[in-house]
Chain A
Amino acid sequence: MSIWEYANPKKFIATTTPLIPWVFGATAVCLVVGLVWGFFLTPEADRFGSTVKIIYVHVPSAMMAINAWAMMLVASLVWLIRRHHVSALAAKAAAPIGLTMTLIALWTGAVWGQPMWGTWWAWDPRLTAFLILGLFYLGYIALWEAIPDPDQAADLTSVLCLVGSVFAVLSRYAVNFWNQGLHQGATLSMDAEENISDVYWFPLLFCIAGFVLLFLGLVLMRTGTEIRLRRLRALERQAQRITA
C-alpha cells in the first residue's frame, strides 16, 4: 500500500469522487463561520474602519494564489520524475483556480487600496509581484491549450512551470528592489497582518481554512474532469483503431 496507488486514474476517481461533497461541505462551514464572524462580529479597527474586513477574502485568496503555483510545481516534478498522469492533470486543473485566486487578490487589493491609499493601483512590490504571477498563470494555461498531444503538453508545461518558478521568485526580489525607494518598510497590508489581534485572527483562520478546502475541492473535481476527458479521448482513439 503506497500513496502512488492513487496515481492510477481509476483509483483516483473512485477514491476522490465520494470525498468531494464532504470537502465542499467543510468549505461552506468554514467560509460561513469565518466570513460572518469576520464581517459582522468583529469591531472596526481604529485606523482602517470597516475596510479592514476585506482581509477575510484578500489574505486567503492571495495565499492560495501562491500555494496553487507551489502545488503545480510539485505536481509537475512528480510528473516529470514518476510519469503519473494524474499528477500532470492535477497541475493542469489547478492553474485556472490559481489564476482566479490571483485575480481575486488583485481585485480585493484594489478595492481596499482605493479608500486606504487613495488609488486603485500602486506599483507596490507586492501588487506588482501578483500581477506578474498572474502573467505566469496565463502563459502556463495558454501553453496547455496550444499543444494538441496531452503528454507532450504535460511535459512542456512542466518544464515551463519549473523554469517559471525560478523566474517568479527572481521577479519577486526584483520588484522589491525596484520599488524600495517609494515604499519605506512594509506595506499597509503587511501592517494589518503584523498588528492583527486575536479578535481578527480567529475568523481569518477560518477563512484561510475555507479557501484551502475550496481549492482542494475544486482541484479534485477538475482533476476528475480532466481524467474523464482523457479517458474519453483514449476510448475514442481505441474505437478508431479497432474499426480501422
Chain B
Amino acid sequence: MKALLVRDLRLAIRAGGGFGLSLAFFLIVTVLVPFAVGPEADILSRIGPGILWVAALLATLLSLDRQFALDHEDGALSLIATSPLPLEAVALIKAFAHWLTTGLPLTLAAAPLGVLLNLERPAFSWLVLTLALGTPALSVIGTFGAALTVGLRRGGLLLSLLVLPLYVPTLIFGAEAARRGAEGLAAGTPILMLAGITAGSLALLPFAAGAALRINLR
C-alpha cells in the first residue's frame, strides 16, 4: 500500500504531475471574486468563507480526471489490478494521495487567502477546521467519480457533471459550519454532519470505486 502512495506522490510532485495547479486555481478564483462583487470589506468578509469553500471544491474537481486516467492509458491500472492490492484499497490510497496533494495544500492556503477576503479573526480557524474535515470527503467522492469515468473519452466534463451533485451535502455542511462559526453561532451540528459525511464516504465509497474500476477494466 505504501508503495502506491509513495509512487503517486512522487508522480504528482515531479514535472508534469500537476501539483500546484489546483492551488494556483484556488488563488486565482479567490483573487477574481473581489473584482466581481466589489471591494467592500463587509461584503467580502461575509461571503468569504463560502467563496473559499466553493473555490476549494472547484480546485479539487479540476485535478480529479488525472486520478485513474493516466494509469489507465499506460496500462498500469491493469497491472495494479492483478497485484495483491485489492482495487478497493487502490481507490482509497489514490484518494489519500489526492488529498495530500490537493486537499491538504488547499486547507493550508485558505488561511492566507482569507486575508484577501477580509475574513474576521474567528473565521480563519473555522474555515481551516471545516476544510480539513471536508476536503477528504471531496477527494474520496471525486475518486469514485473518476473510477466511474475512467477510460471514457472526454470523461473530464462528465466527471464534473457526476461529482458536483454528490458534493452538495459536503459543501452545504462545510460552508454552513464555517459561516456559523465565523458569526459566533453554534456550529456543532454542521461540523458533526460534515465529519459524518467524511467518515461515511471514506468507509463506503472505496468499495463503490473498486467495483467501478473492475467494471471498467473488463
Contact = CB atoms under 8 A, between A and B. Distances in A.
Contacts of B154: 146
A176 to B, nearest CB: 10
A139 B161 contact: yes
B162 A160 contact: yes
B193 A177 contact: yes
A199 B193 CA distance: 43
Nearest to B205: A163
Interface in A139-171: 139, 142-143, 146-147, 152, 155-156, 159-160, 162-164, 167-168, 170-171
B164 interface: yes
Contacts of A142: 158, 161-162
A174 B165 contact: no
A204 B210 CA distance: 46
Given A155-B215, A159-B211, A177-B172, A170 B149 contact: no
B114 interface: no
Contacts of A178: 172, 176
Contact of B166 (A146, A156, A164): A164
Given A174-B168, A174-B193, A143 B215 contact: no
Tell me if B's interface is mostly helix, strand, loop or mixed.
helix
Interface size band for B: 20 to 34
B144 interface: yes
Interface in A37-53: none
B161 A171 contact: no
Contact of A136 (B144, B165, B193): B165
B125 interface: no
B148 interface: yes
A173 B165 CA distance: 14
A167 B162 CA distance: 12
Given A152-B216, A177-B176, A178-B176, A171 B169 contact: yes
A141 to B, nearest CB: 10
A177 B189 contact: yes
Interface residues of A, number: 26
B165 A167 contact: yes
Interface in B198-215: 205, 208, 211-212, 215
A14 interface: no
B131 interface: no
A83 to B, nearest CB: 13
Contacts of A155: 215
A155 B173 CA distance: 31
A139 B212 contact: no
Given A136-B165, A159-B211, A167-B165, A143 B158 contact: yes
A139 B149 contact: no
Contact of B155 (A132, A146, A163): A146
Contacts of A147: 152
B96 to A, nearest CB: 19
A138 B168 contact: no
B91 interface: no
A171 B218 CA distance: 33
A167 B201 CA distance: 10
B168 A167 contact: yes
Contacts of B166: 163-164, 167
B50 to A, nearest CB: 11
Interface string B35-66: 00000000000000000000000000000000
A7 interface: no
A132 B173 CA distance: 15
18 contacts: A132-B165, A135-B164, A139-B161, A139-B165, A142-B162, A143-B158, A146-B149, A146-B154, A146-B155, A163-B166, A163-B205, A163-B208, A164-B165, A167-B169, A177-B172, A177-B176, A177-B189, A178-B176
Given A174-B172, A174-B193, 6 more contacts: A167-B166, A167-B168, A170-B197, A171-B169, A173-B169, A177-B193
Interface of B: 144, 148-149, 152, 154-155, 158, 161-162, 164-166, 168-169, 172-173, 176, 189-190, 193, 197, 205, 208, 211-212, 215-216, 218
Q: Which 4 A-B pairs have the closest CB atoms?
A: A174-B172, A135-B165, A174-B169, A170-B169
